[in-house]
């Protein structure tokens, strides 16, 4: 089934019965990604949730890939009083994770995501410049810009834009200012957060 058109849909149906054990815990399933969120005060601990997932995988003859499994402990900006839980054995604890294409760090800051967007968009502007040198028309360049730059920035924007600082908004707006100068957009686009 892997690699087929119905593979992702079949997998979603297959894992439909995998639920969080705790009332306060939340799971997010998308294709073959499974994310579970466990708050500090919960009725079922993260260790119990992970044990439940491992048991479900054994019963359903699936292999849980612990090499690709990561843990992020989200803390307050000044964690003086926070008690950081022990690390899970065989699971890497990271400062930042990519969840469905969006980078989130342990402070719920999207600075890594913005930095990555700026880097990727800069590379794509170079590609657009090379396409212009090769004689691609302005109308075609606008379509390519929309596909590889504009939609990249707009991906999941309502989820993360409200957490940006003014400096981060200005950095992202500079992408659109550059696009306007290059005549890749007919109007000036602003990131309205």
Q: Report pLDDT for 29.
A: 84
Band (pLDDT 50/70/90 cuts) for residue 7 is confident
Q: Report pLDDT for 33.
A: 82
> Strands 92-93 and 70-71, how do they pair?
parallel
pLDDT digits (tens, 9 = 90+) for 64-86: 888 989 999 988 777 666 678 88
3-state secondary structure the chain: CCCCCCHHHHHHHHCCCCCCCCCCCEEEEECCEEEEECCCCCCCCHHHHHHHHHHHHHHCCCCCCCCCCEECCCCCCCCCCCCCCCCCCCCEECCEEEECCEEEECCCCCHHHHHHHHHHHHHHHHHHHHHHHCCCCHHHHHHHHHHHHHHHHHCCHHHHHHHCCHHHHHHHHHHHHHHHHCCCCCCCCCCCC
pLDDT at 192 over 80: no
pLDDT at 128 over 80: yes
pLDDT at 2 over 70: no
Q: Are 124 and 151 in contact (CB under 8 A)?
A: no
pLDDT digits (tens, 9 = 90+) for 138-166: 999 999 999 999 999 999 999 999 999 99
Band (pLDDT 50/70/90 cuts) for residue 107 is confident
Q: Report pLDDT for 182.
A: 92
> What's the N-to-C CA distance of the chain in angstroms?
41
Q: How confident is the prediction for the chain on average, in pLDDT?
A: 89
φ/ψ of residue 99, rounded to 5: -115, 110
């Amino acid at each position: 089934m892997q690699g087929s058109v119905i593979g992702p849909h079949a997998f979603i149906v297959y894992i439909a019965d995998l639920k969080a054990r705790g009332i306060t815990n939340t799971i997010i399933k998308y294709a073959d990604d499974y994310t579970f969120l466990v708050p500090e005060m919960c009725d079922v601990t993260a260790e119990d949730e992970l044990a439940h997932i491992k048991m479900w995988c054994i019963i359903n003859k699936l292999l849980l890939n612990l090499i690709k499994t990561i843990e992020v402990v989200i803390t307050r900006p000044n964690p003086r009083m926070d008690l950081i839980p022990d690390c899970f054995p065989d699971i890497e604890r990271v400062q930042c994770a990519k969840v469905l294409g969006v980078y989130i760090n342990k402070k719920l800051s999207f600075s890594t995501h913005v930095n990555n967007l700026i880097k990727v968009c800069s590379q794509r502007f170079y590609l657009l410049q090379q396409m212009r040198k090769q004689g691609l028309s302005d109308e075609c360049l606008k379509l390519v810009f929309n596909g590889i730059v504009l939609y990249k920035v707009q991906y999941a924007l309502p989820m993360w834009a409200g957490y940006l600082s003014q400096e981060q908004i200005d950095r992202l707006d500079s992408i659109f200012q550059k696009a306007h100068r290059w005549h890749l957009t007919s109007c000036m686009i602003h990131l309205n957060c």
